[in-house]
Amino acid sequence: MERVSFDLAKTPLREVNTYLHQQLVADDHRHVEVLNPDGAHNIAVGLDQPVTVEIHGHAGYYAGGMNKKATVVVHGSVGTGVAENMMSGKVHVKGFASNGAGATAHGGLLVIEGDAGLRCGISLKGGNIVVGGSVGSFSAFMAQAGRMVICGNAGDALGDSLYEAVIYIRGEPKSLGADARFEPMTDADYTAVGELLREAGLDHDPKTFKRIASARSLYHWNADANQEY
């Protein structure tokens, strides 16, 4: 597989993204390396080809956002909104992720080997997220579909206003959000966690995880509750 390298210390990011969007198919390159990202925002956003992009260093906001089909690997940490609105493919962060990681992701897999900040997986719509460390408060807020595997702990209000998404956590949340509750793990849960851990390259026993899902009491308006839940 031929490798193509771009050095952001010498080449404007606009040229890199133009290549990824307009020239990649014609040139048929399938492995692109980005050197010296130096925290640049919007690297490898909106890709819709089965290309591998390796970012050697720290990336800024929205790295790998709106990803479709591509594999984006960040050999460093990332700013806000990594893999935001991802449709398919894989985004793998070797370091830490700031706020809103994987927000509204419809599909694909986001792997964060370190910790993630506030609101990880907010409004998740079908994607899968595996966090090797801990996550901040209000993670999986209003998560509608998909799965989140947290190998560490979580901050306040984990899973607040959950819909059909499921959270698996190895550590402990500081608190659960409204309508989130612990439920018994099933064989299907253990299998799902094991598969996601393998895809993420993490080696934990699935039986050390706990399941958090929606109690479904917020699905319908209850006039007798006087807006108190």
- 176-199 pLDDT, tens digit per residue, is 999 999 999 999 999 999 999 999
Rg (CA), the chain: 18
Ordered by where they begin, the domains of the chain are 35-225 (2.160.20.60)
Q: What is the pLDDT of residue 72?
A: 98
116 bridge partner residues? 97
Secondary structure (DSSP) of 54-103 = EEES-B-TTTTTT--S-EEEESS-B-TTTTTT--SSEEEESS-B-TTTTT
Assess whether pLDDT exceeds 90 at residue 85: yes
* pLDDT mean over 10-16: 96
Q: What is the pLDDT of residue 70?
A: 95
What is the b/e burial string over 209-224, where b = at least 16 CB atoms within 10 angstroms of the residue's CB?
bbbbbbeeebeeeeee
* pLDDT mean over 142-156: 98
* pLDDT mean over 33-41: 98
d(CA 163, CA 214): 6
Local structure of 111: helix, strand or coil: strand
